[in-house]
């Protein structure tokens, strides 16, 4: 296929496709799917080999969020029966993080629900990072606390944070349909604040809320322009008790096409399969590893993932290997730019090439909400509009905020 040959050649050179080419990836048929995966896989291996980076989530504060993000189980007015608790103590969070690191994670993601942190919250997270770094000085720490105020990113950087997560979630054009309590511009501002403080930017999207192909391409190009070093691709988890509980618009094939499009637009960037992996990719998760080079290990913020050992077995059985603590995730040329940005010498923003978990706060998976489009040719709808598919959504009942051992 000429399209895939062109995209592969561009990706191997680290070049970006056109918007039309990105849209064409999403329009490919199921008969072409394995060819799409193979093409994206060549680009992935060019820059990341067969390494898979493992990340581990610790939900520092669950529920109790004043924001109205339609996709989020922790939102204001959510009736989802999730765990709800206020801030974990530093030693509790460190214990949870230790389980993930023992399972092979090289990055710990500290997340808290809410619009954004107070200065006292920054102090809490600073103490938590110190407890984690005391146990393992080499572990990477990414923080996700929502919208940042002036100087908060600098404080997190000085305290030892390596990265800050704040997802754009969906296109600027449709953002107002999913959230009214903050804006797309607010999100961009926070990512830019993280850049300015020398933090690596982790910013991504959520698919599956009825957004158009154009919306998906818009947000992925916007993420590239912002210079995200890692792009988490979330697939909506339709929690019962949220406005999007009936939005089952994804098939495993659709998810793979979305991942491939993200990879082609970000050939040398960490692409992470994030929330909803088990729910929507299901038995086709190993194919996703041929496109993305990063996943979360074990459970998510408010939902359960598959067993941590199952994740590790899947990586091994698919012919991949877990990225070691001493290995650099980004290709050398990308790492050079990131290091320069952290030193305050880059004008293009952290991680911008020379050639992406939270909602209003740190709420996790999110995405655009519009009227669900008709399924593309060759794709069956996941479920009828009145079917909630609660069998596929498992609320987290273990790990942080409970007395049960975490899943790692």
65 is catalytic: yes
Nearest to residue 199, comparing CAs of 267, 268, 129, 135?
Answer: 129
Q: Which of 44, 51, 72, 277 is catalytic?
A: 72
69 is catalytic: yes
- Region of 55 (left: φ > 0; alpha: ψ -120 to 50; beta: rest) is beta
Question: Both tokens of residue 27?
Answer: 């329009």
Nearest to residue 305, comparing CAs of 394, 238, 244?
Answer: 394
Q: Which of 44, 69, 187, 257 is catalytic?
A: 69
Rg (CA), the chain: 19
Q: Which of 107, 142, 263, 363 is catalytic?
A: 142
The counts of H helices and E strands in the chain are 12, 10
CA dist 353 and 5 (Å) reads 23
142 is catalytic: yes
Contact 88, 60 (CB under 8 A): yes
Question: Both tokens of residue 55?
Answer: 């990340």
255 is catalytic: no
Q: Which of 107, 144, 202, 255 is catalytic?
A: 202
CA dist 13 and 7 (Å) reads 10
Q: Which residues contact 374 (CB under 8 A, 6 or more apart)?
A: none
Q: Which residue has the tokens 């051992």?
A: 405
Contact 397, 300 (CB under 8 A): no
CA dist 342 and 330 (Å) reads 15
CA dist 361 and 72 (Å) reads 10
Q: Which of 51, 109, 144, 254 is catalytic?
A: 109
β strands within 161-293, DSSP E: 163-165, 200-202, 205-207, 230-235, 270-273
Q: Which of 75, 272, 277, 334 is catalytic?
A: 272
202 is catalytic: yes
Contact 158, 125 (CB under 8 A): no
β strands within 221-351, DSSP E: 230-235, 270-273, 294-296, 321-322
Q: What is the DSSP letter of 237?
A: -
For the annotated catalytic residues, the residue numbers are: 65, 69, 72, 109, 142, 202, 272
């Amino acid at each position: 296929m000429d399209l895939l040959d062109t995209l592969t050649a561009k990706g191997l050179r680290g070049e970006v496709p056109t918007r039309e080419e990105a849209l064409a990836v999403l329009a490919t048929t199921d008969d072409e799917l394995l060819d799409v995966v193979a093409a994206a896989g060549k680009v992935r291996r060019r820059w990341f080999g067969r390494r898979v980076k493992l990340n581990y989530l610790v939900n520092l504060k669950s529920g109790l969020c004043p924001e109205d993000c339609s996709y989020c189980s922790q939102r204001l007015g959510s009736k989802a029966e999730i765990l709800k608790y206020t801030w974990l103590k530093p030693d509790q969070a460190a214990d949870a993080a230790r389980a993930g690191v023992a399972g092979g994670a090289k990055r710990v993601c500290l997340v808290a629900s809410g619009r954004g942190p107070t200065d006292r919250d920054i102090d809490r997270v600073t103490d938590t990072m110190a407890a984690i770094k005391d146990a393992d000085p080499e572990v990477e720490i990414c923080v996700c606390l929502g919208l940042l105020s002036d100087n908060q990113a600098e404080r997190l950087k000085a305290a030892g944070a390596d990265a800050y997560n704040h997802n754009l979630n969906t296109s600027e054009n449709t953002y107002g349909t999913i959230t009214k309590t903050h804006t797309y511009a607010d999100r961009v501002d926070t990512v830019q604040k993280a850049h300015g403080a020398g933090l690596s930017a982790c910013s991504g999207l959520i698919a599956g809320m009825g957004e158009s192909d154009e919306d998906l391409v818009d947000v992925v190009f916007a993420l590239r322009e912002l210079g995200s070093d890692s792009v988490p691709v979330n697939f909506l988890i339709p929690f019962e008790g949220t406005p999007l509980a009936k939005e089952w618009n994804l098939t495993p094939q659709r998810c793979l096409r979305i991942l491939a499009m993200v990879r082609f637009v970000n050939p040398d960037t960490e692409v992470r399969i994030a929330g909803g992996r088990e729910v929507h990719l299901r038995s086709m998760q190993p194919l996703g590893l041929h496109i993305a080079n990063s996943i979360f290990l074990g459970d998510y913020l408010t939902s359960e993932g598959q067993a941590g050992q199952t994740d590790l077995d899947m990586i091994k059985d698919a012919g991949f290997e877990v990225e070691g603590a001493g290995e650099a995730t980004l290709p050398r040329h990308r790492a050079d730019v990131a290091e320069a940005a952290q030193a305050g010498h880059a004008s293009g923003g952290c991680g911008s090439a020379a050639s992406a978990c939270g909602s209003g706060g740190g709420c996790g998976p999110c995405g655009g909400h519009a009227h669900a489009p008709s399924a593309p040719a060759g794709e069956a709808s996941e479920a009828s509009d009145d079917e909630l598919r609660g069998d596929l959504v498992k609320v987290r009942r273990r790990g942080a905020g409970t007395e049960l051992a975490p899943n790692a």
